[in-house]
Amino acid sequence: MAASILHRAAGVAIYGGLLILAGWVFALEAGPAPFTAYVGALHTPLGLTVLFLITLALFFHLANGVRHLAWDIGAGFLPKTASATAWAAFLLAAAINMVFWFALVAAGKV
């Protein structure tokens, strides 16, 4: 049940991420100065925290979304299975997010 409401919350967070992406492309179109300023804002501690949470939401929404698609074809409905896949989605999302950001930091991009 928690996965269900988290799935919705994550979706809303990703929607915010899409708006941030829209701003990024808008700034790119506007010129070098606006673009550099926009990217600079994303690189502040607050900006990076927001991006970190959005990628976490995205990985979780992806993993949980696969659960939903599995249910759509009729698989994984037993309560025990559903609980197990819910935990798998949480843990997978958290792990992949950590790896993603670790790789970004290691590559010097952050």
The residue ranges that bind another protein (CB under 8 A) are 8, 11-12, 14-15, 18-19, 21-22, 25-26, 28-32, 35-36, 55, 58, 62, 65-66, 68-69, 72, 100, 103-104, 107-110
Q: Which two tokens stand for residue 39?
A: 């990217």
- Using the minimum distance from each CB to another protein, give the nearer residue, 32 or 80: 32
From the CB of 64, what's the least distance to another protein, in Å? 11
- Using the minimum distance from each CB to another protein, give the nearer residue, 80 or 109: 109
Are residues 97 and 51 in contact, defined by beta-carbon separation less than 8 angstroms? no
DSSP single-letter state for residue 75: -
Spatial distance between the Cα atoms of 26 and 15, rounded to a whole number of angstroms? 17
From the CB of 10, what's the least distance to another protein, in Å? 10
Are residues 61 and 14 in contact, defined by beta-carbon separation less than 8 angstroms? yes
